Amino acid sequence: MRKFVFIFVVIQMCCFHTEAQISNSDELGVGLRFQKTEQLYWENGVGLDYTSNLLLNKHIHLKMSYATSRLGSAMIGNAVKQDNYVVGADWRFRPKKDFQIFAGLNTGYFHADMENPVFNVLPHNSMLFSVETGLFYKFRLLPLATNLSVGYNLINGDGVSKPGTLFPVFYQLSVFYYIGKK
């Protein structure tokens, strides 16, 4: 149910910010996220990136994403089906430049679907809290941008009180299309 609520909110945000409604200072990026957890799974999904001059002259970027192993390792192998629902904020150090460095904080919800009733005694859910840093490049001639980052989950799994598949280190590649930008 939470997954459907999250997807509904993402769709509503996209529909709310149509080309005609986005001002020149607003930037809304919608895109794909490819995430690799160190020594574990590929988790892929969708993401949003929003900024405005009202957010400290575009130094702050607000973001949302949904990444799942269902669209990654679990599609082609015997991986645990897990979902990450994340919201966060980044600080962009050079917001006027095409090439930007950023650092941010994320929070959210993690769910691992073990499927087999034998594993019902194990924890399946956890809050997420992570730090992230990386590089962002905005193409000049196209309304596209790409983001490459590394992050660390401050809450990670031990298999006893938190899911054992919630590993600390992850890498992300995101590609965004900016709505309303030419």
- For the four alpha carbons of 90, 96, 98 and 101, in that order, the dihedral sign comes to negative
pLDDT recorded at residue 92:
96
Q: Is 124 exposed, middle or buried (0-12, 13-18, 19+ CB in 10 A)?
A: middle
Q: How far apart are CA 37 and CA 124, in angstroms?
A: 17
pLDDT recorded at residue 20:
43
Is the separation of the CB atoms in 19 and 60 below 8 Å? Answer: no
Interval 102-137: pLDDT, tens = 999 999 999 988 888 887 778 888 999 999 999 999
Is the separation of the CB atoms in 14 and 31 below 8 Å? Answer: no
Which residues have a Cβ under 8 Å from the Cβ of 12 and sit 6 or more positions away? none
pLDDT recorded at residue 109:
95
At 175, which helix (H) or strand (E)? strand 169-179
Q: How far apart are CA 71 and CA 146, in angstroms?
A: 20
DSSP 8-state symbol, 120: G
Q: Which residues of the chain have pLDDT under 70?
A: 1-23, 182
Is the separation of the CB atoms in 67 and 33 below 8 Å? Answer: yes
Domains delineated in the chain: 2-179 (2.40.160.20)
